[in-house]
Amino acid sequence: QVQLQESGPGLVKPSATLSLTCAVSGASISSNNWWSWVRQPPGKGLEWIGEISHIGNTNYNPSLKSRVTMSVDTSKNHFSLTLTSVTAADTAVYYCARAYAILGIYYFDYWGQGTLVTVSS
């Protein structure tokens, strides 16, 4: 059974860097999938942040691209997100997800439970 679990600080100060990790179990992060981050600000909809492949190729949301970096650690079977210069607008529940992107199809088949990150001093 594939499981994803987000971890990281629940409170980040304005202008600081947000860092989250997603631990993957039940599947190898080196498999032919993409690994994504999605967030949901309070009272708003889902927003795709970006994705990374097991060899480190990345695609980011253009609106966040200048502040986002994703990385993957195959030895630990996890991937990570860093978001710099955060503001209150970055307060959200952050989800990690596995994207099934094979044979011309794309969807998220497994998700983490989500972790709330609040940006506040």
Residue 109 as a binder of other proteins (CB under 8 A): the answer is yes
The CA distance from 44 to 59, in Å, is 23
d(CA 48, CA 59): 10
| Using rule CB under 8 A, residue 54 touches other proteins | no
Distance in Å, CB of 88 to other proteins, minimum: 21
φ and ψ of 91, to 5 deg: -65, 125
Binding status of residue 7 toward other proteins by CB under 8 A: no
Chain centroid to CA 57: 14
Which residue from 75, 87, 89, 105 is in contact with other proteins, where contact means CB under 8 A? 105
The residue from 80, 95, 117, 119 that contacts other proteins (CB under 8 A) is 95
